[in-house]
Chain A
Amino acid sequence: MNFLKKVLVAFAWLTVVFAALFSYVSLAQATELQDKQAELTSVPKSAAGEYLKPRSLASIPEGEFGDKVRLGYKLFVDTQQLKDKQVGNELNCSNCHMNAGQQANASPLWAAYFAYPAYRKKNDKVNSYEERLQGCFTYSMNGIAPGKGSPELVALSAYSYWLGMSGLMDKYQVAGAVPELSDEELVKGGKRADFPVPEVIKQALTVEQRAKLPGKGFPSIDKPKLAYSPERGKVVYGAHCQTCHGDNGQGVEMKGVDSLPPLWGENSFNWGAGMHRVNTAAYFIYENMPFAKGFQLSNQEAWDVAAYINYHQRPQDPRFKGDVQGLKDKYHKHQGYYGEEVSGSVLGSEKSKEN
């Protein structure tokens, strides 16, 4: 990147930061939980050969930095070790982020890491990577997010960074170990002009390109021909999903270990999680379900079953202040069922889970 370009990128970046800093936020708003589970932007699907391939976990280096990366992996595949603390349901990160967050088109960590910090119009704020992770704990895990700079957020950031950077280094033939970063750098995320990246990679990809790596998020699918229908979805669920996820969406527990994830009810993600949106769930399902198969369902079936899954009670939205309709108007103007009445009870009228 030439000097002028560098200056321009730095200037653009500063503008964003200052815009965020100087945006007027009332005290009441500042203490509110921010909506950190904005709709994921998906990038078009591309040929499999283009996806980053992280290095083998066996090559994570010995030492303090490597230990953080390893802890990130462990927390990611066994998030239940944080149960009743930072986690308030029976999910593990790897339930939705397949292959321990390494699977393209299943919101891989190696792509997510380079997409933050991200400016969000919705809360007029720049979200760092650790803030996005906090959102995962608050909403997807229905828990109490670990604090900024906490060992958990550092570890998950380190794991994400290591996957992404090792994949990039291999792709652009940069030899050697993944450069070690301080905790402070790790938790910010990689979408910044000042993020340390080997020169070869810097030349090959702009910051913006890095933020949109092929395989990021869940690839979007076409709108369904017929309006999605929970009633039709129920039939799809019975035929394809029930064996693993239970006749009442409760998942399967084996010897006290939450093996197969609950999809609704008190032990699943709450009303603030991205997956409660019918479209997000449909994208995920079409691509990744049935487990390890994907693409078994038609476009219509994926939408219908996504609607069925999200047409049930689940833990309350953490932003709830006693007024379902008010929250619905503020945060739920999208494809979902929060605040809708289903067989006599209003979805979202369940109490918040105390944990």
Chain B
Amino acid sequence: MPASAQLCAGCHGLQGQGIDPVGPRLAGLSAEYIQQQIKLFQTGQRQNPTMGPMAMTVQGEAIEQVSKYFSSQDVADVSTHVRGEKVSYDDPTERLVYQGDWERIIPACVTCHGPSGIGGGQFPRLAGQQANYLKAQLLAWQTGSRKGDIDGIMGDIAAKLTASEIDALSQYFSTLE
């Protein structure tokens, strides 16, 4: 572990496995996503009382080191369910995940977050992430305390979700295996 990552491990775990409810899982997120988030915390586009100051402790080359270290940690495999495996979903949460709700211009989550929300590039993995973290993020998108999405796409989608949909989606992704 790079020295610069030791402070992070206090909340995110030595292998970035996350410590609920102090810090979300970092393993399974891409290095470029983690890097980008550190920068967003530093510039205040993501606001969080703990992560704001913590992000400031990581500077220069350390940003890349820390990101690479945590993104390369092992994470549970998820069985991928791709769009088109099923035509209709009885469960409204699954329907949102795999088909979206275009009446409200909500696309399927998996379009950007990948099959089973596996994530990649600038799109975070959702599968197996802590439910309360996922919920906090969707709410942060809604209130605007989290920004940094291109053209406000995620903020726009989150704004359209109801409180119970946020609960159900957070639960759904956290328990995906």
Contacts and interface: CB of A to CB of B under 8 A. Distances in A.
Interface stretch (A70-78, A266-274, A308-316): A70-78
Given A290-B150, A293-B153, A296-B151, A257 B105 contact: no
A73 B87 contact: yes
B161 interface: no
B53 interface: no
A239 B150 CA distance: 8
Interface string A247-282: 000001111010110000000000000000000000
Contact of A243 (B88, B102, B110, B122): B122
A244 B121 CA distance: 8
Contact of A255 (B80, B88, B153): B80
A115 interface: no
Size category, B interface = 20 to 34
A98 interface: yes
Size category, A interface = 35 or more
A74 B118 contact: no
A103 B100 CA distance: 12
Nearest to B86: A74
Contact of A254 (B83, B102, B107, B114): B114
Interface string B97-123: 001101001110011101100111111
Nearest to A70: B87
Given A244-B112, A259-B114, A252 B123 contact: yes
B115 A291 contact: no
A99 interface: yes
B84 A74 contact: yes
Contacts of A70: 87
Interface of A: 56-58, 60, 70, 73-78, 81, 94, 98-100, 102-103, 239-240, 243-244, 246, 252-255, 257, 259-260, 290-293, 296
Closest 9 CB pairs of A and B: A254-B114, A78-B84, A254-B120, A58-B88, A99-B102, A77-B84, A74-B84, A292-B107, A290-B151
B84 A257 contact: no
Given A259-B111, A291-B111, A293-B156, A240 B150 contact: yes
B157 interface: yes
Nearest to B105: A292
Interface centre among B82, B87, B121 (most CB of A within 10 A): B87
B152 interface: yes
Contact of B102 (A77, A103, A257, A296): A103
23 contacts: A56-B88, A57-B87, A70-B87, A74-B87, A75-B84, A76-B84, A78-B83, A94-B83, A98-B107, A103-B102, A244-B112, A253-B120, A254-B121, A254-B123, A255-B115, A260-B112, A291-B112, A291-B153, A292-B105, A292-B153, A292-B156, A293-B151, A293-B153
B79 to A, nearest CB: 10
Contact of B115 (A74, A98, A257): A257
B150 A292 contact: no
Nearest to A57: B88
Interface of B: 80, 82-85, 87-88, 90, 99-100, 102, 105-107, 110-112, 114-115, 118-123, 150-153, 156-157
Contacts of A56: 88
Nearest to A94: B83
A60 B110 CA distance: 23
A56 B92 CA distance: 13
Contacts of A76: 84
A292 B82 contact: no
Contacts of B156: 292-293
B71 to A, nearest CB: 14
A98 B84 CA distance: 14
Interface centre among B82, B90, B118 (most CB of A within 10 A): B82
Given A57-B87, A98-B102, A254 B157 contact: no
A243 B107 CA distance: 17
Contacts of B105: 292-293
Contacts of B115: 254-255, 257, 259
Contacts of B80: 255, 257
A259 B110 CA distance: 8
A135 to B, nearest CB: 22
Contacts of B85: 74, 78
A63 to B, nearest CB: 14
Contact of B82 (A100, A253, A257): A257
